[in-house]
Amino acid sequence: WSVRRAELLELMQGRDSAYVYDAATIRARCASLKSLRSVSRVLYAIKANSNAEVLRQVHGAGIGIECVSRGEADHALRSIRGLAPAEILFTPNFAPRSEYQWALETGLRVTVDNLYVLREWPSLFAAREIFLRVDPGTGRGHHQHVRTGGIHSKFGVPIDQIDEAIRLAGKAGARIVGLHAHVGSGVFDVGSWADTAQQLAALLPKLPHVRAIDVGGGLGVPDRTGKPALDLEQLDARLSDLRQVLGNVELWLEPGRFVVAESGVLLARVTQTKRKGASGYVGVATGMNSLIRPALYGAHHDIHNLTRLDQPPTEVMDVVGPICETGDFLGHDRLLPPTQEGDVLLVATAGAYGAVMSSNYNLRAPAEERMI
Ligand code: LLP
């Protein structure tokens, strides 16, 4: 973003806040995913950022789509010209019966993650091909809220219920053609996806029709300058080691954050500053209504004063929004140059789970999105 500083400041003329996405960064991340030799298909988890222009960039790079609601799938089909329903993997969780029915009739690939749907709604699945989402038993990720394995997580069919799932699918007349698992989000252990693949591969002897194993998303992105990035080559190497075990079964990957996190920044104009004892506050025009990750997960996003990028940072400040909650902060104890009303602050690595999780809380409209 620092090389496009002038453009970003220009874009903020007459605005108080904006999410800005860099198309070239999205294309670069897509290209690195497409270069993984062990992975036959990459799906983009659109929950990370469903901006229509982002979706078109991703699909244009040869990447499919993963959706978790009818709303997401409808939006993807509307936004991307030429998107075939079969390019969408639908991975709902505790969704109503009507959504499964719609997805199957529309031709999406559907993932089942609960025996309930096979037992209670068997007629929906007659003569259908389905994916089975498996809970490998342990979750991983940057915060407890985003770890999706183990009995305390609501996702997936535990390994000890797989036999029953196979029986119920057979009884319903459904064919299990894919296995799926997603253990969590913000994972930096390069072996994680191979571990998942291995656990799913162990089930293959029971599932003669399975043609693909989807090892989920969760690829971590460093939240601050200087932290090492996930080693994609290592990840690829670990997955490639499994090729022999897998035979003709394909490996699929479905990242969200990795595709978009670093493409996006949140820009927000400084409204007021305040001192209270030892604490200093810089207030900006938008806060948790645009970016809830700091409040929800204690997530870190680097913050820079874009207006005064050349000036030395001298003061330690909390960066806060205008929302009436003490949790409304974008960053604590941030070293900034002397900052004034009207300056533009930049919140980095905000392209994933930013705009999509925004709200109108306090009836303050969240930041608008722009692609450059
Ligand atoms: N596949 C499934 C089934 C998922 O549930 C998710 C994310 C992904 C793929 C993509 O995960 P990613 O590659 O983006 O880590 N709001 C949280 C993240 C929640 C992730 C939910 N599921 C955050 O801001 O960190």
* pLDDT for position 244: 85
**How much distance in Å is there from the Cα of 219 to the middle of ligand 1?**
9
Q: What's the predicted TM-score (pTM) here? A: 0.97
Query: What is the CA(25)–ligand 1 centre distance, in A?
Result: 20
pLDDT at residue 32, rounded to an integer: 98
Adjacent-strand bridge partners of 262: none
Q: Hey, CA dihedral for 106, 39, 182, 142, is it positive or negative?
A: negative
Structure tokens at 227: 């932290």
Q: Which atom of ligand 1 is nearest to the CA of 257?
A: 14
Q: Which residues contact ligand 1 via a Cβ below 6 A? A: 45, 47-48, 66, 91, 146, 182, 185-186, 216-219, 254-258, 293, 352-353
Residue 133 identity? R
Residue 160's contacts (CB-CB under 8 Å, 6 or more residues apart) are none
50 alpha carbon to ligand 1 midpoint, in Å? Answer: 13
pLDDT in the model for residue 16:
98
Residue 9 is predicted with a pLDDT of: 98
The residues near 208 (Cβ < 8 Å, ≥ 6 apart) are: none
Give yes or no for a contact between 331 and 305, defined as CB atoms under 8 angstroms apart: no
User: What phi and psi, each to the nearest 5 degrees, are found at residue 245?
Assistant: -65, -35
Residue 37's nearest CA partner among 319, 303, 232 is: 232
Residue-level pLDDT at 207: 98
Coil, helix or strand at residue 261: helix
Q: What is the pLDDT of residue 243?
A: 86
Average pLDDT across each block of 10 residues of the chain; the chain has 372 residues. List them in order: 96 98 98 98 98 98 98 98 97 98 98 98 98 95 92 95 98 98 96 97 97 98 96 97 93 98 98 96 98 98 98 97 98 98 98 98 98 96
Beta bridge partners of 370: 20
226: left (phi over 0), alpha (psi -120 to 50) or beta: left
Q: Strands 129-135 and 175-180, how do they pair?
A: parallel
